[in-house]
Structure 1
Amino acid sequence: MRRIEVEQRTILIGLAGSHGYGLNRPDSDYDYRGVFIASKRYYLGFDSIEQKDTGWDEPGIFPFIDGNQDTVIYELRKILHLLAGANPNVLELLWLPTYPILTNVGQHLINHRNIFLSKKVKHTYSGYAFAQIKKMETHRKWLLNPPNKKPVPSDFGIEEEPALSKDELNAFLEYLYLLIRGKIEFLEESEELYKLLTADIDFKGVLKQYTLDDETLDYTQKLTNSRKDFIRLLQKSQGYQIAVREWKAYQSWLKNRNPVRAEMERKSGYDLKHGMHCIRLLRSGLEILQTGEVIVDRRIAGDVDDLKAILRGDYTYEQLMKMAEDLVKQMDDFYEKSTLNSQPDLERINNLCIELVEMQGWE
């Protein structure tokens, strides 16, 4: 959809990111997030759209997002799925302190925001926090022990024949995934378990990210009746491809990181922004379990100065990791005490979706 079509059917736009958290500086970007309801053809026809995240240089209605590449406006059904899944980046959209655009339909969505809260926040907020830790650990490894040369096949014992290509590796790992999925389909019927194992776990991603251990290799060789030298070459090729991928990521990191952020990272020994977001996410998840509310603005939450201290490098890496560990334990302890439902009420969310579409109308 063209920008003007999306904006004509937009029900809310909020100012997110550092401005939403109360952590913005004079040079901070403006991150806008919004919701629109697609027109009739996208609901009843073959066309589909999930979000608008480009094309902000086209003619539009809202001048404040002209040329702003940090703008995303989600289609209603896409954002309701993310909200029901307790996605941290999307849940906060309904609790932002500032909405440059808010229609009566958007207000109706905000009025029902609490139906999206469930105990799932423990897993999603801690999961997003762990993703920040993973990035911190990767950058810390590069800071303390940077790669000194581009990997070559001989580093992995691949001498006489070329390593398996990326396409060959992916094709074989896709085959393994299909084997796993095939076995799962014969398990005792259990809808939640089936969904977990076939949809929620990214087996292909796991297979591509980690090399297979020796025991798994032997079993895979028997399972697939493949030659042993192929299986060994698979392991070596996986290791080589992972190393090449990390080398490219390291080079991109060196080239593209912000100079000021890089200097702070060098002094502190870890990425301060990732560290701050890790703690913010864990505190936010704990607050939701405790209060049943999402506190986006950290000035209201009362820890804005502490989060700014993390950004200044006032905490060591070890102190920050201990802080994260303590917050995870608090979330575990409070999980059972929380009065939130274990899962969101999908029927109520579905009915809300219908209400919002009918309120907006087709044209």
Structure 2
Amino acid sequence: MKRIEVEKRTILLGLAGSHGYGLNRPDSDYDYRGVFIAPKRFYLGFDRIEQKDSGWDEPGIFSFLDSNKDTVIYELRKLLQLLAGANPNVLELLWLNQYPVLTLVGQHLIKKRKIFLSKKVKHTYSGYAFAQIKKMETHRKWLLNPPQKKPVPSDFGIEDEPPLSKEELNAFLEYLYNLIRGKIEFLEQVEQLYNLLVADIDFKAVLKQYTLPDETLEYTQNLTHSRKDFIRLLQKSQSYQIALREWKAYLSWQENRNPARAEMERKSGFDLKHGMHCIRLLRSGLEILQTGELIVDRRIAGDVDDLKAILKGNYSYEQVMKMAEDLMAEMEKVYEKSNLPYKPDLEQINELCIELVEMQGW
């Protein structure tokens, strides 16, 4: 869809990112996130659209979006799916302070925002925080012990035949994932395990990110009816592809680092922005479990100065990691006591979707 078509059917557009958190500086970018309801053909025909995240140089209605690359406007159904999954970046869209665009339909969505809060936030917020920790740890490793050379297959014991390509690896791991899911899908007594592996955890991504451990190789061979030498090659190829991916990420990091951020990172020994976002996410998730409310603006939450202190390098790497560890432990305690439901009511969300589409009209 063209930009002007999306903007005409936008029901809500908020100022997110650092401005939403109250952590913006004079040079901070403007991050806009919004919701639109697609026209009739996208609901009743073959056309599909999930979001508009480019094309802001096209003619439009909202001049403040002109050429702004940090803008995403989600189609309603895509947004509701992300909200039901407790996606932290999307949940906060309904709790922002500033909405440059807010229609009556958008107001009705905000009025219903609490139906999306559930105990799933414990998993999603801690998961997003852990991703920030992984980035922190990776950058710290590169700072203290940078890789010296591009990895080659022989480093991983691959001598006589070429390693499996990324596409070959992913195809086999997709096959392995489907086999494992099929093994547990119809067993009622392991419904919780199935939900954990298929719904609560991105098990497919885990398979693709980490090498198969030695103790699982025989089982994998039997499960997939593969040759033993193929399974060994699979494991070695995984190690090689992971190392190659890290080497490329290191080169990209070196090339694209913001100079000021790189200097702060050099002085402190870790990426301060990732550290701050890790703590912000954990505190936000904890607050939701405790109060049933999401506080996006950290000035209102009362910890904006503390988060800015992390950004300034006033806390050491060890201190930030200890803060994260304590917050995760607190989330574990609060999780069971929380009054939130374990998962959102999908029927209620479906009814809301119908209400909003009918209110917007075609």
Question: Which TM class, normalised by the smaller chain length?
Answer: over 0.9
Paired residue for 1:124?
124
Seen in structure 2, the aligned counterparts of structure 1 residues 141 and 80 have a Cα distance that, compared at 3 Å, is: same
Paired residue for 1:31?
31
Q: Map residues 66-145 of structure 1 onto 2, 5 A cutoff.
A: 66-145=66-145
Paired residue for 1:13?
13
Paired residue for 2:302?
302
Q: Distance in 1 between matches of 2:166 and 2:72?
A: 32
Letter in 1 for 2:128: Y
182-191 vs 59-68, which deviates more?
Answer: 182-191
Q: Distance in 2 between matches of 1:213 and 1:191?
A: 25
The secondary structure found in structure 2 opposite 1:336 is helix
293-302 vs 155-164, which deviates more?
Answer: 155-164
Give CA deviations for 1:156-182 in whole Å, capped at 9, x if unaligned.
Answer: 122232222223323332332232133
**Cα pair 2:286 2:331 within 8 Å, conserved:** yes
Q: Map residues 1-363 of structure 1 onto 2, 5 A cutoff.
A: 1-188=1-188, 194-362=194-362
175-184 vs 269-278, which deviates more?
Answer: 175-184
CA RMSD of superposed structures (Å): 1.7
Structure 2 unaligned spans of 5+: none
Normalising by the residue count of structure 2, what TM-score does the alignment of the two structures yield? 0.95
TM-superposed deviation, 1:348: 2.0
Q: Distance in 2 between matches of 1:28 and 1:52?
A: 22
Q: Distance in 2 between matches of 1:200 and 1:302?
A: 31
Normalising by the residue count of structure 1, what TM-score does the alignment of the two structures yield? 0.95
Query: Matched residue pairs, number?
Result: 362
Seen in structure 2, the aligned counterparts of structure 1 residues 219 and 333 have a Cα distance that, compared at 3 Å, is: closer
TM-superposed deviation, 1:65: 0.3
Give CA deviations for 1:261-285 in whole Å, capped at 9, x if unaligned.
Answer: 1111111111100000011111111
56-65 vs 336-345, which deviates more?
Answer: 336-345
TM-superposed deviation, 1:87: 1.1
Structure 1 unaligned spans of 5+: none
Seen in structure 2, the aligned counterparts of structure 1 residues 283 and 202 have a Cα distance that, compared at 3 Å, is: closer
The secondary structure found in structure 1 opposite 2:188 is coil
Seen in structure 2, the aligned counterparts of structure 1 residues 175 and 339 have a Cα distance that, compared at 3 Å, is: closer
Seen in structure 2, the aligned counterparts of structure 1 residues 220 and 114 have a Cα distance that, compared at 3 Å, is: closer
Give CA deviations for 1:82-119 in whole Å, capped at 9, x if unaligned.
Answer: 11221111111111110101111111111111121122
Seen in structure 2, the aligned counterparts of structure 1 residues 298 and 54 have a Cα distance that, compared at 3 Å, is: same
Letter in 1 for 2:106: G
Q: Distance in 1 between matches of 2:192 and 2:249?
A: 36
The percent identity for this pair of structures is 84
Q: Distance in 1 between matches of 2:5 and 2:286?
A: 39
TM-superposed deviation, 1:225: 4.1
Letter in 1 for 2:70: D
Q: Distance in 2 between matches of 1:225 and 1:120?
A: 37
Letter in 2 for 1:106: G
TM-superposed deviation, 1:345: 2.1
TM-superposed deviation, 1:211: 1.5
149-158 vs 268-277, which deviates more?
Answer: 149-158
Letter in 2 for 1:231: I
231-240 vs 266-275, which deviates more?
Answer: 231-240
Seen in structure 2, the aligned counterparts of structure 1 residues 184 and 293 have a Cα distance that, compared at 3 Å, is: same
